[in-house]
Amino acid sequence: MSQHTTRRKIKPAAKFLLAIAALVSLFILAAIIFGLWSYANPVQMLRIAFTPDHAFAESEADPQLDYNKDTSWAALPDKYSFASARPEGVLDIAQHPAVDIFFIHPTTYLKRTFWNAPSDASEANERLANRVLKHQASAFNLAGRIFVPRYRQATFGAFFDIRDNGKKAISLAFIDVLAAFDNFIQNRSNGRPFILAGHSQGSLHLLTLLQKRISGTALQARMVAAYVIGWPVSIEADLGALPGISACQTANDTGCVISYQTFGQGGDPAFTLSYMNSSTGLGGMPRKGTQMLCTNPQSWKIGGSGTRTEHLGAIVPQAPNAKLGKPIAAFTDTQCGTDGILYIQGQPGADWQPLKMFGENYHAYDYHMFYMNIRENAATRARAWLSHSKTNVSQDSQP
Domain boundaries, the chain: 53-397
Q: What are phi and psi of 214, to 5 degrees?
A: -110, -60
Give the residue with greater pLDDT, 15 vs 230: 230
Could you please report the per-residue DSSP string of 354-392?
Answer: TTPBTTTB-GGGTTGGGHHHHHHHHHHHHHHHHHHHHHH
pLDDT tens per residue across span 257-297: 999 999 999 999 999 999 999 999 999 999 999 999 999 99
Which is nearest to 60 in space by CA: 109, 113, 125?
113
The region that residue 304 occupies, defined by phi over 0 for left and psi between -120 and 50 for alpha, beta otherwise, is: left
Q: Which helix (H) or strand (E) holds 18?
A: helix 12-40
Cα–Cα dist 170/31, whole Å? 34
327-368 pLDDT, tens digit per residue, is 999 999 999 999 999 999 988 999 999 999 999 999 999 999
The pLDDT confidence band at residue 398, using thresholds 50, 70 and 90, is very low
Q: Mean pLDDT of all residues in the chain?
A: 89
Better pLDDT: 33 or 128: 128
Sign (positive/negative) of CA torsion 319, 321, 325, 331?
positive
Average pLDDT over residues 374-394: 85
Residue 331 is predicted with a pLDDT of 96
Q: Which helix (H) or strand (E) holds 22?
A: helix 12-40
Contacts of 356 (CB under 8 A, 6+ apart): 264, 362, 364, 365
User: Is the pLDDT score of 233 beyond 80?
Assistant: yes
Measured distance CA(323)–CA(186) in Å, rounded: 34
pLDDT of residue 49: 72
Secondary structure, 3-state, 178-244: HHHHHHHHHHHCCCCCEEEEEECHHHHHHHHHHHHHHCCCHHHHHEEEEEEECCCCECCCCHHHCCC
Angle at CA 203, nearest 5°, toward 104 and 123? Answer: 55
Residue 273, C-beta contacts closer than 8 angstroms, at least 6 positions apart? 339
The pLDDT of residue 91 is 76
129 residue type, one letter = A
Helix (H, G, I), strand (E, B) or coil at 113: coil
Confidence of residue 46 (pLDDT cuts 50, 70, 90): low
Average pLDDT over residues 183-211: 98
Q: Which residues of 267-292 are buried (b: 16+ CB within 10 A; e: fewer)?
A: bebebbbeebeeeebbeebebeebbb
| Cα 38 from chain centroid (whole Å) | 24
CA separation for the pair 55, 371 (Å, rounded) = 39
Q: Is the pLDDT of residue 245 over 60?
A: yes
Note the pLDDT tens digit of each residue in 94-112.
566 799 999 999 999 999 9
Band (184; pLDDT cuts 50, 70, 90):
very high
Identify the band that residue 38 occupies on the pLDDT scale cut at 50, 70 and 90: very low
